[in-house]
């Protein structure tokens, strides 16, 4: 039996690379696995040899100790791999296929899945709708920052690349299809971005950069990206975005006015989430800052896309309300301006095939936009530290050294 190595959350601020069990087509007991999911047979699943797997900002929330993630949880929900074993009930996916794995785990059978809301599948998480690999309170499906991983419901979920050789030539782009690119794109679509529109993207981390690139693909006339981190803003500027530095100047509307000639945009996208900080040099954590600021600067009748993560449990929050996801939001302002809000996990399968074609045709340059940076599995702990310090990189783990 082959071995397996994986990136494991050990304690707040720390991840380790550990030897772990080789996956089987069954969900076994382990850290974070819901007791009602233990022993769940997955003959509809496959075993993947992981080709690439990415570090996500959502992983960082857990690693910082800002969730109830248990020690020993195997991380990783952004997975691309080669099929090396198929379950008895798998009909269309074959050994040798190179596939992208949507981070949402979805059965394909329930009402939500049939309505294309694969982000809130009703059958994969006993606690609540929706699930993901290697994530707290998501049912306990084992993460993919590893050498090998099991993926259930393979025929329904997996996106097969049509030409394996050509896919490997663009693998740093295609690896973004599991989460970050569809998530950024969903934020832009949810915000109503269209040809000629003006867009504000809050946050220049990888998802914010993906949202900005997505807005460009959708035809936005001007994309403005705001952040407190000058290095990340420089990355946004590198592919044609306007930028506002909210550490140096806390007046967001005023900075937008200087760019557009009026202090508002047609659409706004929150790519920060619940660890948001206030603006200015003396900023501190203020989790409702981004939500309130995008309502302020979005025109009446505009839309807000909110792919940034918000949680129901945050033990490290700044106040008791925020610890249970209760934030002081100016909802009356949003109501008065007739804003449309779209929140929640991204239904990756709505977008990943189209975005794959945009990559393969050369239309989308997502790896360049997010500064994809290849690392080995053993270098993952250092990459987590670097990412936490705010470097402007999207770290892509290559567990087997397969990427040229």
Contact criterion met (CB below 8 Å) for 103 and 78: yes
pLDDT in tens, 13-27: 999 999 999 999 999
Contact criterion met (CB below 8 Å) for 63 and 9: yes
Pairing verdict, β 159-160 and 222-227 = unpaired
Burial code of 348-380, b = ≥16 C-beta within 10 A, e = fewer? bbbbbeebbebbbeeebbbbebbbbbbbebeeb
Point out the least confidently predicted range of 22-36, 99-113, 302-316. Answer: 302-316
Domain ranges, ordered by start, for the chain: 4-179+347-397, 180-343
Q: Please identify which residue in the block is written with the tokens 């003006």.
A: 198
Q: Please identify which residue in the block is written with the tokens 């200087």.
A: 258
**180-343: CATH, from 1.10.10.10, 1.10.287.180, 3.40.50.300, 3.40.50.720:** 3.40.50.720
pLDDT in tens, 317-364: 889 999 998 999 999 999 999 999 999 999 999 999 999 999 999 999
Q: In the Cβ-directed half-sphere of 45, how many Cα atoms lie within 13 Å?
A: 19
Two structure tokens written together for 95: 């050994």
**4-179+347-397: CATH, from 3.30.420.40, 3.55.40.20, 3.20.20.140, 3.90.180.10:** 3.90.180.10
Q: Is 403 exposed, middle or buried (0-12, 13-18, 19+ CB in 10 A)?
A: middle
Is the pTM higher than 0.85? The answer reads yes
Two structure tokens written together for 214: 């997505």
pLDDT in tens, 183-237: 999 999 999 999 999 999 999 999 999 999 999 999 999 999 999 999 999 999 9
């Amino acid at each position: 039996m082959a071995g397996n190595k994986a990136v494991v959350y050990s304690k707040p601020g720390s991840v380790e690379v550990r030897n772990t069990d080789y996956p089987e087509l069954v969900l076994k007991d382990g850290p974070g696995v819901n007791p009602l999911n233990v022993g769940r047979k997955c003959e509809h699943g496959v075993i993947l040899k992981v080709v690439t797997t990415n570090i996500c900002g959502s992983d960082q929330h857990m690693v910082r100790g800002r969730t109830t993630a248990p020690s020993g949880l195997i991380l990783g929900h952004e997975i691309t791999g080669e099929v090396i074993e198929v379950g008895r009930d798998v009909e269309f996916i074959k050994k040798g296929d190179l596939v992208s794995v949507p981070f949402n785990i979805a059965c394909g059978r329930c009402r939500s899945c049939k309505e294309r809301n694969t982000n809130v599948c009703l059958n994969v998480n006993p606690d609540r709708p929706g699930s993901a690999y290697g994530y707290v309170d998501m049912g306990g499906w084992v993460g993919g920052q590893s050498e090998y991983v099991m993926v259930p419901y393979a025929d329904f979920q997996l996106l097969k690349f049509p030409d394996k050789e050509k896919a490997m030539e663009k693998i740093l782009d295609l690896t973004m299809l599991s989460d970050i690119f569809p998530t950024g794109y969903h934020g832009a679509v949810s915000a109503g971005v269209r040809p000629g529109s003006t867009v504000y993207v809050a946050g220049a981390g990888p998802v914010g950069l993906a949202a900005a690139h997505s807005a460009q693909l959708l035809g936005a006339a001007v994309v403005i990206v705001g952040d407190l981190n000058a290095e990340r803003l420089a990355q946004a500027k590198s592919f044609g975005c306007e930028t506002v530095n909210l550490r140096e100047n806390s007046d967001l509307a005023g900075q937008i006015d200087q760019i557009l000639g009026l202090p508002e945009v047609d659409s706004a996208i929150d790519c920060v989430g619940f660890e948001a900080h206030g603006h200015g040099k003396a900023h501190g954590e203020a989790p409702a800052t981004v939500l309130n600021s995008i309502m302020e600067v979005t025109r009446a009748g505009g839309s807000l896309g909110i792919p940034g993560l918000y949680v129901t449990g945050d033990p490290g929050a700044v106040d008791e309300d925020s610890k249970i996801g209760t934030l002081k939001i100016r909802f009356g302002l949003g109501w008065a301006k007739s804003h449309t809000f779209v929140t929640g996990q991204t239904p990756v399968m709505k977008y990943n095939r189209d975005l794959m074609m945009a990559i393969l045709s050369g239309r989308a340059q997502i790896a360049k936009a997010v500064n994809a940076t290849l690392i080995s599995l053993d270098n993952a702990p250092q990459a987590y530290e670097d990412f936490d310090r705010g470097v402007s990189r999207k770290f892509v783990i290559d567990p087997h050294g397969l990427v040229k």
